[in-house]
C-alpha cells in the first residue's frame, strides 16, 4: 500500500486530480449545509450577474442561485457516475469472464454481442432508452450502463484468457475447486488492476454522458443537474453567460480530475509500464 502511494505520488497530475476530486466530493456532501433549502427556490431577481445580491455565481432566468445548483448538481453527477459505472462493471465483468474463461462458442457469442454494441451509435441508443423508459434517475443510470460495458468485457476477457492457462489456475483446477470459485477467488483478483483503472475513466465518461442527456432535457425532472443548468442557459446565453459557463467548468474540473486519477492509478498499478513511459 505504501509502495502504491509512493508510485502514485510520482505523477504530479494525478495528485492534483485527487485534490480536485476530493474538493468536488466535499462540495457534494456539504451542499445542504452551504446552500440550505432547495436549489429550485427563487432567491433573487432573475439574471443577476455574478457577485451581485450576494450570489457568487449569479442567478438564472427564474432567480435561482447558480452556485446552489452547481453544489446540489455535484451530488447527482457523482452518484450517477458511480452507480452507472458499477452497473456497467457488473455486466462487463460477467460477460468478459464467461468469454475469457469458457472460450469456444461462448467466447464467440459474447464477442459478437460486444462488437454489436460497439458498432451502434451508443449516444443515440442512450437517448432512445431514456426517452422510451421516461426520464428518471434510474433510467439514466440504466441507459449509461447499457452503453458503457463493452470495453470492460473486452479487457476482462483478455485478462482471463491469459490468466486461465497459468499454473496457479491449473493447480486450483487439479485441487478440484469449482469453476465459479476459481473465477472469483483465483482469476478475478489478479485481473483487478486494469479493471480499476478502466473504472475510474468510466466514471468520467458516465458524468459526461449524464450531462449530455440532461442537457437535452432527458434528466430526472426532479433533480438539479449540471447538464440541466447548461441546457437552461443555452437559449439566454446572450443575456446571461454565467448560467452556462460555470456549470460547464464544474463538469470540466470533475472529469479532468477523474481522468488524471485514472492515469495515476494506471502508473501505480502497472509500475513496469510507467517506467517505460517515463523513459520514452
> 163, 169 in Cβ contact below 8 A?
yes
| Binding region for another protein (CB under 8 A) out of 72-80, 127-135, 178-186, 192-200 | 127-135
Which of residues 27 and 257 has its CB atom nearest to another protein in the complex?
257
- Site membership for another protein, residue 125 (CB under 8 A): yes
> What residues are paired with 42 via a beta bridge?
64
- Site membership for another protein, residue 131 (CB under 8 A): yes
- 200: Cβ–Cβ under 8 A, 6 or more apart, which residues? 258, 261, 262, 265
> 267, 11 in Cβ contact below 8 A?
yes
- Site membership for another protein, residue 272 (CB under 8 A): no
Cα separation, 100 vs 111, in Å, equals 10
Which of residues 8 and 226 has its CB atom nearest to another protein in the complex?
226
Nearest distance in Å: CB 45, another protein? 22
**3-state helix, strand and coil shares in percent for the chain, rounded to the nearest 5:** 80, 0, 20
Return the residue of 181, 237, 275, 278 that touches another protein, per CB under 8 A: 237
> 259, 17 in Cβ contact below 8 A?
yes
Return the residue of 30, 234, 273, 278 that touches another protein, per CB under 8 A: 234
Site string for another protein, 203-222 (x = CB under 8 A): -x---x--xx--xxxx----
Which of residues 169 and 230 has its CB atom nearest to another protein in the complex?
230
Cell triple for residue 279? 523513459
Q: In residues, how long is the chain?
A: 280
Residue 180, Cβ density class (10 Å: 0-12 exposed, 13-18 middle, ≥19 buried):
exposed
Return the residue of 26, 62, 128, 273 that touches another protein, per CB under 8 A: 128
Q: Which of residues 150-169 bind another protein (CB under 8 A)?
A: none
Query: E strands, the chain, where?
Result: none
- Site membership for another protein, residue 109 (CB under 8 A): no
Cα separation, 135 vs 130, in Å, equals 5
- Site membership for another protein, residue 224 (CB under 8 A): no
Contacting residues toward another protein, per CB under 8 A: 116, 118-125, 127-129, 131-134, 204, 208, 211-212, 215-218, 227, 230, 233-234, 237-238, 241, 244-245, 248, 251-252, 255-256, 259-260, 280
Amino acid at each position: 500500500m505504501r509502495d502504491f502511494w509512493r508510485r502514485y505520488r510520482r505523477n504530479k497530475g494525478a495528485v492534483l486530480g485527487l485534490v480536485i476530486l476530493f474538493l468536488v466530493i466535499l462540495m457534494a456532501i456539504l451542499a445542504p449545509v452551504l446552500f440550505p433549502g432547495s436549489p429550485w427556490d427563487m432567491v433573487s431577481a432573475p439574471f443577476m450577474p455574478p457577485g451581485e445580491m450576494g450570489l457568487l455565481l449569479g442567478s438564472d432566468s427564474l432567480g435561482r442561485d447558480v452556485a446552489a445548483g452547481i453544489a446540489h448538481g455535484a451530488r447527482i453527477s457523482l452518484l450517477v457516475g458511480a452507480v452507472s459505472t458499477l452497473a456497467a462493471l457488473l455486466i462487463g465483468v460477467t460477460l468478459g469472464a464467461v468469454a475469457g474463461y469458457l472460450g469456444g462458442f461462448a467466447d464467440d457469442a459474447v464477442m459478437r454481442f460486444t462488437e454489436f454494441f460497439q458498432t451502434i451509435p451508443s449516444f443515440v441508443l442512450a437517448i432512445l432508452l431514456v426517452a422510451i423508459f421516461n426520464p428518471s434517475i434510474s433510467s439514466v443510470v440504466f441507459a449509461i450502463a447499457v452503453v458503457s460495458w463493452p470495453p470492460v468485457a473486452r479487457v476482462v476477457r483478455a485478462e482471463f484468457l491469459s490468466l486461465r492457462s497459468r499454473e496457479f489456475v491449473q493447480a486450483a483446477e487439479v485441487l478440484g475447486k469449482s469453476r465459479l470459485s476459481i473465477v472469483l477467488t483465483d482469476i478475478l483478483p489478479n485481473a483487478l488492476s486494469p479493471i480499476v483503472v478502466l473504472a475510474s475513466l468510466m466514471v468520467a465518461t458516465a458524468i459526461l454522458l449524464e450531462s449530455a442527456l440532461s442537457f437535452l432535457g432527458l434528466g430526472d425532472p426532479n433533480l438539479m443537474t449540471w447538464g440541466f443548468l447548461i441546457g437552461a442557459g443555452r437559449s439566454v446565453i446572450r443575456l446571461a453567460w454565467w448560467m452556462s459557463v460555470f456549470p460547464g467548468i464544474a463538469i470540466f474540473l470533475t472529469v479532468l480530475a477523474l481522468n488524471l486519477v485514472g492515469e495515476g492509478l494506471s502508473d501505480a498499478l502497472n509500475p513496469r509500464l510507467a517506467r517505460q513511459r517515463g523513459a520514452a
